[in-house]
């Protein structure tokens, strides 16, 4: 029986084919790397194509120090801060904000009475959770907000400069004072009960203990002439003692208030604890003063004539009212004068030996 003849030539051809394919791959690899390197080259001015390679950008004629192409800046849209979110006004209105020199800075949302009601609802919803936190935890959260403010020093300083026309050094000093003021109030939540609370002597076999508790929802008219330091000085003491706040920012200079809202939104402060409205105090304040679900009213930013009318409205629903002092020195030591007006005193009697 004869053996089938072998066919070495096809085998050699196949081996040769593999070798040729290997050689082709070895020769093509540098070409692929070269193409990848060319694709990684930066585009030249206008993205001009190289004449030797159609469709490829020609960067050979672009000087190294050529200026970057101008771009359209992304302008900021200033919104309200309600319930931890940033809604536009339900009315769709806005108003122009100008700097101290009259230059147009931005368009701020013009809050309506419906926005004010929504803010009160958000503040009321957040009250029980915020007041129920430990005092130590509230202090930690406030300190975290101060940390976030420190990271935005440059933005706050620029906004204070635009609003008040002060130089950079003065603006930086005001921003530092605002951050320090926030830190100051961050240290009070776990100490205010020791200062204002008491063990009362009574005639009888009882313990009689008094301690401060938050009032509830406080509406605040921020001072118009101190857009950051004044704002911090009226908001921080209210929430440090466990209240929640609805704040009407300075109509003249609302931008620092919106930036503060962004700080609070990115800190650990629960949504609804602070709600910030931008717009006209004359339009919003009467509705907040007469709102039955607002427990306190800070009239610091109201003029004397308007404050008297607002106080009469607040009396119909038995609100606690802090009258405007006039000519406040926001750089002075605040003490506890802005924390005590919105605290209630709870007294507990407990029999001894039972």
In this prediction, residue 61 carries a pLDDT of 58
User: pLDDT tier at 24 (50, 70, 90 boundaries)?
Assistant: very low
pLDDT digit string (tens) for 242-268?
A: 999 999 999 999 999 999 999 999 999
Q: Residue 109's closest CA among 75, 79, 83?
A: 79
In this prediction, residue 25 carries a pLDDT of 43
User: pLDDT tier at 325 (50, 70, 90 boundaries)?
Assistant: confident
| CB-CB neighbours of 105 under 10 Å | 17
pTM: 0.80
In this prediction, residue 57 carries a pLDDT of 52
94-351: which CATH number, 3.40.50.300, 3.20.20.450, 3.40.605.10, 3.30.365.10? 3.40.605.10
Tell me: pLDDT of 117 over 50: yes
**DSSP 8-class letter at 47:** G
Bigger pLDDT: 110 or 47?
110
In this prediction, residue 1 carries a pLDDT of 45
User: Taking a C-beta distance cutoff of 8 angstroms, is the pair 81, 264 a contact?
Assistant: yes
Rounded to the nearest 10 degrees, what angle do helices 168-186 and 135-151 cross at? 170
How many Cα atoms sit within 13 Å of 156 on the Cβ side?
A: 29
**DSSP 8-class letter at 305:** H
Rounded to the nearest 10 degrees, what angle do helices 135-151 and 229-240 cross at? 160
Q: Tell me which residue has tokens 């101290």.
A: 100
Tell me: pLDDT of 215 over 80: yes
In this prediction, residue 7 carries a pLDDT of 47
Segments making up each domain of the chain, as ranges: 94-351
In this prediction, residue 204 carries a pLDDT of 87
- Give the mean pLDDT of 129-145: 98
In this prediction, residue 245 carries a pLDDT of 98
Tell me: pLDDT of 287 over 80: yes
User: pLDDT tier at 53 (50, 70, 90 boundaries)?
Assistant: low
pLDDT digit string (tens) for 145-158?
A: 999 999 999 999 99
Q: Residue 341's closest CA among 243, 262, 260?
A: 243
- Give the mean pLDDT of 322-342: 92
User: Taking a C-beta distance cutoff of 8 angstroms, is the pair 120, 294 a contact?
Assistant: yes
Q: Residues 231-246, buried b or exposed e (16+ Cβ, 10 A)? A: bbbbbbbbbbbbbbbb
| CA distances in angstroms from 58 to 34, 36, 39, listed in the order given | 15, 15, 11
pLDDT digit string (tens) for 61-113?
A: 556 666 667 899 888 889 999 999 999 999 999 999 999 989 999 999 999 99
In this prediction, residue 352 carries a pLDDT of 87
**Host H or E run for residue 245:** strand 244-248
Burial, 125: exposed, middle or buried (Cβ in 10 Å; 0-12, 13-18, 19+)?
middle
In this prediction, residue 39 carries a pLDDT of 40
What is the overall mean pLDDT for the chain?
86
- Give the mean pLDDT of 297-314: 94
User: pLDDT tier at 59 (50, 70, 90 boundaries)?
Assistant: low
């Amino acid at each position: 029986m004869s053996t089938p003849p072998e066919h070495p030539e096809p085998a050699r051809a196949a081996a040769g084919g593999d070798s040729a394919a290997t050689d082709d791959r070895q020769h093509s690899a540098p070409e692929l790397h070269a193409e990848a390197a060319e694709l990684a080259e930066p585009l030249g001015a206008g993205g001009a194509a190289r004449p030797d390679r159609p469709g490829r950008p020609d960067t050979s004629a672009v000087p190294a120090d050529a200026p970057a192409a101008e771009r359209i800046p992304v302008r900021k849209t200033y919104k309200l801060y309600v319930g931890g979110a940033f809604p536009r006004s339900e009315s769709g209105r806005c108003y122009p904000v100008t700097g101290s020199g009259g230059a147009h800075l931005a368009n701020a949302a013009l809050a309506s009475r419906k926005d004010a009601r929504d803010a009160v609802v958000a503040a009321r919803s957040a009250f029980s959770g915020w007041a129920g936190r430990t005092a130590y935890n509230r202090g930690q959260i406030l300190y975290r907000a101060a940390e976030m403010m420190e990271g935005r020093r440059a933005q706050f300083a620029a906004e204070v400069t635009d609003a008040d026309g002060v130089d950079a050094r003065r603006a930086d000093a005001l921003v530092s004072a605002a951050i320090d003021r926030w830190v100051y109030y961050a240290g009070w939540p776990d100490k205010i009960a020791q200062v204002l609370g008491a063990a009362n002597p009574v005639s009888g076999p009882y313990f009689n203990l008094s301690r401060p508790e938050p009032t509830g929802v406080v509406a605040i008219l921020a001072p118009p002439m101190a857009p950051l330091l004044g704002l911090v000085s009226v908001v921080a003491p209210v929430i440090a003692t466990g209240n929640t706040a609805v704040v009407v920012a300075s109509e003249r200079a609302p931008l620092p208030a919106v930036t503060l809202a962004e700080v609070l939104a990115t800190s650990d402060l629960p949504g609804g604890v602070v709600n910030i409205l931008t717009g006209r105090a004359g339009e919003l304040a009467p509705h907040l003063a007469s709102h039955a679900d607002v427990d306190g009213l800070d009239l610091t930013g109201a003029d004397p004539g308007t404050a008297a009318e607002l106080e009469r409205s607040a009396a119909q629903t038995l609100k606690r009212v802090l009258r405007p002092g006039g000519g406040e020195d926001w750089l002075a030591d605040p003490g506890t004068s802005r924390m005590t007006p919105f605290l209630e005193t709870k007294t507990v009697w407990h029999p001894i030996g039972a």
